[in-house]
Structure 1
Amino acid sequence: MESAIISGKSKKDIQLLITIAEKMGINAKFLTKDDLEDFGMAKAIKEGETGELINAADFLKSIK
């Protein structure tokens, strides 16, 4: 499965793209602000994941 996120300033234009996508048999929906934040957080976690353990005290010191 492939996916795409399309953003724009005009809700009308995005709705037109969703309508066209659905007519082509492609699932499409509006995402809420919370959906976008969740997606961004999941992406950041995935990209930052190294599989290595770090010392919690050193980490907390580094972000202060």
Structure 2
Amino acid sequence: MESAILSGKSKKDLQLLVELAEKLGIKARILSAEEKEDLVLGKAIKEGRTGEIIDTDEFLKSLK
């Protein structure tokens, strides 16, 4: 399955694109602010992962 994310300043234009997608048989919807936050947070987590194991004590000290 392929996906696309569109962003625009006009809610009316985005709604028009959603309607067009649905007429073409493509599932589409407008994301809420919370859903957009979740996507961005998930992306940041993936980019920040190194797979490296770190010492818990050292990590906690670095937060202070």
Are 1:31 and 2:31 an aligned pair? yes
Please, which runs of 5 or more residues in structure 2 have no aligned partner?
none
Between the aligned residues of both structures, percent identity stands at 59
Q: Which has the higher contact order (CA 8 A, sep 6+)?
A: 2
Q: Which consecutive aligned stretches of 4+ in structure 1 deviate over 4 angstroms post-superposition?
A: none
Deviations 1:6-61 (A, max 9, x none): 11111100000001111111110010010000001111111222221112343342
| Alpha-carbon distance in 2 for matches of 1:47, 1:2 | 21
TM-score (norm 2): 0.83
Q: Amino acid of the residue matched to residue 52 of structure 1? A: E
Please, which runs of 5 or more residues in structure 1 have no aligned partner?
none
